[in-house]
Amino acid sequence: MDISFGIGSKAAHLRDLLTRPRVARLAGARDALTARLVERAGFDGIWASSFELSATQALPDLSLLGMSELLTVSVSIDVATELPMLADCDTGFGGRANIAHMIRRYEAAGVAGVCIEDKVFPKRNSFVDEGQVLEDIDEFAARIELAKGSQQRADFVVVARVEAFVAGMGVDEVLRRANAYADAGADAVLIHSKRNGPEEIRAFLSRWQRRRPVVVVPTTYPHWTADQAAAEGVSMVIYANQTLRASVRATQEVLAAISAADGSAPVEGEITPIKEIFDLVDMTTWTAMDEQPAGGGPKPRLAS
């Protein structure tokens, strides 16, 4: 990774992903190493999920982590790759002033864009069955307008996440909210659903008229491919939590095998070799820095 990329370039890249003809694919990363794996797998960008970041701290996704905690981790994720990152900022960490502060801090840190959702604070994860309470539509539209007015550069992206389907409301309410947030200046709308199929999303898309790019998170309808979503008007698909879930399953299995065998011999052939981890973290490049003559040689370029 070239650590000298220009300020704003990742935001411009994220904006391009939302508006280009080809669908963009983002994957969730809870830390810098996972982000490096996302990049190597060929995804277009990173999603810094509050669910994943909370779970990594052994906490539920209930607005327990504050802005500074999430921003610190998000920055470490962001600098690990050249991919643009869309940061999940829940409801914006409070009221209007909190949102303005959040926008300035995330933008100044080099994050390409943020996503905020129209629930009341503290929010509940969308897959919790009860307690999905939405913010007043006019109030949230005002927050989107304030968020866009608080950014310093035109390229920074603000995505408005509509949770009306999650709260059990119909497509008319989803459209009403999405249109209000588009009028307020949102660069894209994330339409969330936890149905086992894409029917709600497709109903929205059939009436949306493509006023803004649409982002979806097909956690509960994984058989709807990104290309199929794109054919109906989706611009970006986020695989938000699969890396965390894969890691937990693999770790459980390896630990169980070690415990059962009273040693790690049975799993050594199945887990990643240490040399591969060295490659992921650029060990050779970093150790070479100590061998350069003072004042000589080119600046190191870190391969991602």
What positions carry a catalytic annotation? 61
Burial of 121 (0-12, 13-18, 19+ CB in 10 A): middle
Counts of helices then strands in the chain (DSSP H, E)? 12, 8
| 8-state DSSP, 291 | G
Instruction: Let me know the angle formed at the C-alpha of 294 by 289 and 297, rounded to the nearest 5 degrees.
Output: 65
Distance of alpha carbon 146 from alpha carbon 140, whole angstroms? 10
Buried b / exposed e along 224-263 (16+ C-beta atoms within 10 A): bebeebbebbbbbbbbbbebbeeeeeeeeebeebeeeeee
Kindly compute the dihedral angle of the four CA atoms of residues 68, 72, 73, 75, in this order, to the nearest 10 degrees: 130
With CA atoms as reference, report the closest residue to 30 among 1, 65, 3. Answer: 65
CB-CB contact of 86 with 159 (8 Å): yes
